[in-house]
């Protein structure tokens, strides 16, 4: 999926989605990101040449399957268990956390930042785990619409959009 330039240090972009099952738009955003990154668009080609993308599009598949809004099969809000995820009770978080820690300890590291808000969430946990040269962002997606830059009119999501 990506090209590694000979001798270049590769930065890693780690993207996760659907930690809360009811946040359906994140599945569409992750699919859009994947579709773009594997496309032949010139910007996608440049991104693949300079970055490695790791994508876990659904962190709460059992909760999604059950139609839960926020919790996993066992009733956990997974976004509050990053500090000490159990391999048994929170297997997706545990696996992703272990992968991020391994990537962070590898010389071709990843990017997250320290954010003092929301202790226990992925953003805060990863911001505290990693060093000051890393960055961590959360993308929030509306359930209904989006706004095109320079306007204030809401454009409802459609299949075509």
Catalytic residues: 140
Closest CA to 157 of 19, 22, 25, 21: 25
Q: Is 150 helix (H, G, I), strand (E, B) or coil?
A: coil
Q: What's the DSSP call for residue 146?
A: E
Provide the terminal-to-terminal Cα distance of the chain, rounded to the nearest Å: 25
Nearest-angstrom CA–CA distance, 23 and 19: 8
């Amino acid at each position: 999926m990506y090209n590694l330039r000979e001798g270049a240090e590769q930065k890693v972009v780690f993207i996760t989605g659907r930690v809360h099952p009811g946040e359906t738009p994140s599945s569409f955003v992750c699919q859009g990101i994947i579709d773009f990154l594997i496309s032949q668009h010139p910007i996608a080609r440049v991104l693949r040449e300079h970055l490695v993308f790791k994508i876990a599009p659904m962190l709460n598949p059992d909760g999604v399957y059950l139609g839960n809004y926020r919790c996993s099969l066992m009733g956990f809000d997974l976004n509050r268990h990053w500090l000490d995820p159990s391999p048994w009770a929170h297997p997706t978080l545990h696996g992703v956390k272990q992968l991020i820690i391994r990537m962070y300890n590898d010389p071709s590291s990843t990017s997250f930042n320290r954010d003092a808000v929301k202790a226990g969430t992925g953003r805060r946990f990863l911001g505290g785990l990693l060093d000051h040269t890393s960055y961590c962002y959360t993308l929030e997606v509306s359930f209904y619409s989006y706004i095109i830059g320079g306007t204030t009119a809401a454009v409802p999501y459609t299949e075509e959009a």
